[in-house]
Copies of this chain bind each other. A is one copy, B any other.
Amino acid sequence: MATMKDVAKAAGVSLSTVSNTLSGNIHVTEATKQRVLEATERLNYQKNGIAADLKSKTMRTIALIVDDLAGPFFSQFIQGIQRVALDNRYDVVACSALGRKDSMGVKFLQERRASGAIVFASDIAEDLLLDSAGRGLPIVAIDRVVADDRLVSITVDNTQGAYLATEHLIQLGHTSIAYIAGSHDSLDDRQRLNGFLQALSAYGLSPYSDLRISGNFTEEGGYRAIKTLVAQKELPSAVFFANDEMAIGGLRALAAEHILVPDDISVVGFDDIVLARYVHPALTTVRQPIYEMGALAMNVLLSSLMGAPPKTTTYTLSCELIQRGSCRRIGSKESDLARDASSGRRS
């Protein structure tokens, strides 16, 4: 492993000339350039990136820290990021927060291994984020609200999304709608529940049941939630699941109970995971703008790296309803009613 020093010696020039030649920052004569290049070739020289980073302190590397590199959102999310990063000649390395305190994610945050970070990991403690941000590392946090102007956070408008889904069901004529929660201590879940309730009350409806069923955001949980609902005998005419995984589990349970979707019951999910399109029937759901979140995150980070002061410290992206085959119109009068009430929509 030859170093620049070796190359310099071999080419008969000084160390700095080699550096200048290779970096291209300072002009050198064509003759010396050739000599240097020939020497690097002959010695099979490759630069040591670590050393370069140490000295120059500007590594054009963005750390993307996620809970789980294998998670359902990761794929779309990174696409949004990569596109923007590539266009701006930045590199992104992904590392997981798996391993908690000494995960690679934490290492990147604490040890100045990147020029910026995008954090989409609930495993990373907030004070660690604030700490690193305070030390001067530009950070964009996804899906968490941080009341601190040292870092910017991007979230999805869960409330609006849930409102959309619920309103859709109401406009299809449904009046008895159940909400299957994810987990009660999740912010996402609380917001979605909120949107659900807001929509109901805007149309003068009340929740189908006081029963708070939670499915833990898992397919299995959704399955069991439906089983529970069935055990109660009187089914609602529509179910709104707090995420797609649960909805898919629910679909499976309904099939097992020979309850037809959407004929007997309408189902809506949340997230629009890839699978949603493929289950039977295809799942009507609320799409989170994951790709857009990635792209936005990267853009914000970049302008922060350019030294621009942040316009705002929190961004909220809105959701979109994706209609597929798991919902059906019932009755007919109700839809008129729904249309009338729609002026009561929340902003």
**Measuring CB to CB, which residues of chain A are less than 8 angstroms from any residue of chain B?**
1, 44, 46-54, 59, 61, 69-71, 74-76, 78-79, 82, 86, 91-96, 98-99, 103-104, 107, 110-113, 131, 135-136, 248, 274-275, 278-280
Contact = CB atoms under 8 A, between A and B. Distances in A.
A278 B276 CA distance: 10
B94 A95 contact: yes
A111 B50 contact: yes
Nearest to A66: B94
Question: Considering residues A104, A110, A113, A136, which has the most beta carbons from chain B within 10 angstroms of its beta carbon?
Answer: A104
A54 B93 CA distance: 19
A291 to B, nearest CB: 10
Nearest to A113: B49
Q: Is the interface of A mostly helix, strand, loop or mixed?
A: mixed
26 contacts: A1-B112, A46-B110, A46-B112, A48-B54, A49-B113, A50-B50, A50-B59, A50-B112, A50-B113, A61-B104, A69-B74, A70-B75, A70-B76, A70-B79, A71-B75, A86-B98, A86-B99, A91-B103, A91-B107, A92-B95, A92-B96, A92-B104, A93-B95, A94-B94, A274-B274, A280-B280
Given A49-B110, A50-B59, A94-B95, 20 more contacts: A44-B131, A44-B135, A46-B112, A48-B54, A49-B107, A50-B111, A50-B112, A52-B111, A54-B54, A70-B74, A70-B75, A70-B78, A75-B75, A91-B104, A92-B104, A93-B93, A93-B94, A248-B278, A278-B279, A280-B280
A337 to B, nearest CB: 36
A209 B48 CA distance: 56
A248 B248 CA distance: 19
